[in-house]
Amino acid sequence: MSGDETNAISDAPRALLDLTLEELSAWIKEQGEQGFRSKQIWGWLYQKRAKSFDEMNDLPKSLRAKLTTAFRLFPGEVVRHQIAKDRTEKILIRLNDGEHVECVLMRETSRNTVCISTQVGCAMGCVFCASGMQGLKRNLSTAEILQQLLLADRLQDADEKITNIVVMGIGEPLANLPGLLPALKAVQSEESLGLGARRITISTVGLPKKIRELAQLGIQYNLAISLHAPNDPLRTKIVPTNKNIGIEEILSAADEFFEKTGRRVTFEYVMLSGVNDSAENARELAQLLSGRMAHVNLIPMNSVEPLEFAEPSQVRKDAFVSILERAGVPATIRKRKGEDIDAACGQLRLKEKTVVALEVK
């Protein structure tokens, strides 16, 4: 990035999403405007899906002019937009510093789920994942997390609404709780999207201290732990951070989360053909989780270039589920969404960075 581009970013107006409703109310008061204007603006931002200040047509033109001078609506812009045959939509957002992040809108018959990211890149190093192939750059701000939800919201038809949020995109969510938690609090407000905590799922590679910190809040978020293996030697090969943690400590923290919130924990398990999908792996996983209030979400490997991991056969997947269920451990195979686009987490960002690198050369 050139010096001119860096200066342009630093001189850019503040994003409106950086403000809480209370901060916006204080700004409105400073401008000599009537107090109710802040809730009008908030409604346009969160509920009426405004894409510009000019669209806020019940505000005086003078106030819209002030807003345009003082703020940008979002702290980034959509630079790529893909739509799959099943109407899954994925957007790539370029942030003010030139970095990129992804989010996905997934449609089902009775719900629309948005998958959001929390970091630029990832430090966890899971061997099958595109998100961390170029390392961790930085945490996202609360405004950068919120804009993913609101930009995805604006992809919907007038009669559609976001019903669920999954924090399963690029990055490790629990490594950025200061950015994430205020964003989730904001969308639960009736003045915004009005989503209850039980409609929000936070995924983690398994950071016990942070799981316990989340548990202490007592908020009934859903917790999904990316386990991917039933023993430490295999998990450490798949998830390198496990070397300094261990499955036992992760399960202990998960048990505490259940005790504090009453919410069943989901264990995610990406199935890698010939790596962690054997009958013995399934029996070991069943023994590990037996007696716990848990659910296993099996995720068939989504092909990622240049990685060589593959999805197991349907016979092998079905056998794995059968072993778990016979042992009393509920399990499902996640339905694949957006299969005909860059659906795997981090793929679109990785492709964009590759294109930019080639253009620079």
Note the pLDDT of residue 8.
38
**Residue numbers of the domain that contains 338:** 76-360
Query: Backbone phi, then psi, for 5, in 5-degree steps?
Result: -65, -40
Strand-pairing partners, residue 121, are 136
Note the pLDDT of residue 128.
86
Number of domains in the chain: 2
Q: Residues 300, 210: one domain?
A: yes
Q: What is the CATH number of the domain that holds 82?
A: 3.20.20.70
Q: Residues 124, 20: one domain?
A: no
Note the pLDDT of residue 6.
38
Q: Residues 14, 131: one domain?
A: no
Note the pLDDT of residue 44.
97
Q: Residues 117, 7: one domain?
A: no
Three-class SS of residue 164? strand
Report cis status (omega within 30 of 0) of the bond before 312: no
Q: Residues 249, 205: one domain?
A: yes
pLDDT digits (tens, 9 = 90+) for 118-144: 999 999 989 888 777 778 999 999 999
Q: What is the CATH number of the domain that holds 38?
A: 1.10.150.530
Model pTM score: 0.89
Q: Residues 15, 115: one domain?
A: no
Question: Which of 102, 144, 268, 311 is an active site residue?
Answer: 102
pLDDT mean for each 10 residues of the chain (361 residues): 41 84 96 96 96 96 96 94 94 95 94 97 88 86 96 96 96 97 94 95 97 96 97 97 96 97 96 95 97 93 72 94 96 77 54 43 42
Distances from the Cα of 144 to the Cαs of 102, 195, 246, in angstroms?
Answer: 11, 19, 32
Single-letter code of the amino acid located at 249: E
pLDDT digits (tens, 9 = 90+) for 62-91: 999 999 999 999 999 999 999 999 999 999
Counting Cα atoms < 13 Å in the Cβ hemisphere of 52 gives 4
Q: Residues 126, 191: one domain?
A: yes
Active site residue 115: no
Q: Residues 16, 88: one domain?
A: no
Question: Which of 103, 115, 126, 345 is an active site residue?
Answer: 345
Q: How far apart are CA 281 and CA 326, in angstroms?
A: 14
The DSSP string of 218-245 is: T---EEEEE---SSHHHHHHHSGGGGGT
Q: What b-and-e string marks burial along 14-45, b requiring 16 or more CB atoms within 10 Å of the CB?
A: ebbbbbebeebbebbeeeebeeebbebbbebb
Q: Residues 42, 188: one domain?
A: no
Q: Which helix (H) or strand (E) holds 347?
A: helix 347-360
Q: Residues 152, 286: one domain?
A: yes
Distances from the Cα of 35 to the Cαs of 40, 102, 117, 299, in angstroms?
Answer: 10, 36, 34, 49
- Which residue reads 């499955």 in tokens? 247
Three-class SS of residue 34? coil
- Which residue reads 């450490």 in tokens? 236
User: Looking at 72, 103, 132, which one is the last position of a domain?
Assistant: 72
User: Looking at 51, 72, 93, which one is the last position of a domain?
Assistant: 72
Q: Residues 139, 54: one domain?
A: no
Q: Residues 181, 305: one domain?
A: yes
Q: Residue 304 in contact with residue 128, Cβ under 8 Å? A: yes
User: Looking at 23, 53, 72, which one is the last position of a domain?
Assistant: 72
Strand-pairing partners, residue 272, are none
Q: How far apart are CA 48 and CA 18, in angstroms?
A: 19
Distances from the Cα of 311 to the Cαs of 197, 206, 274, 301, 317, in angstroms?
Answer: 33, 23, 9, 5, 9
Beta-strand ranges (E) seen in 45-172 are 71-72, 76-83, 89-95, 100-107, 112-115, 119-121, 136-139, 164-167
Active site residue 102: yes
Note the pLDDT of residue 197.
97
Q: How far apart are CA 40 and CA 3, in angstroms?
A: 38
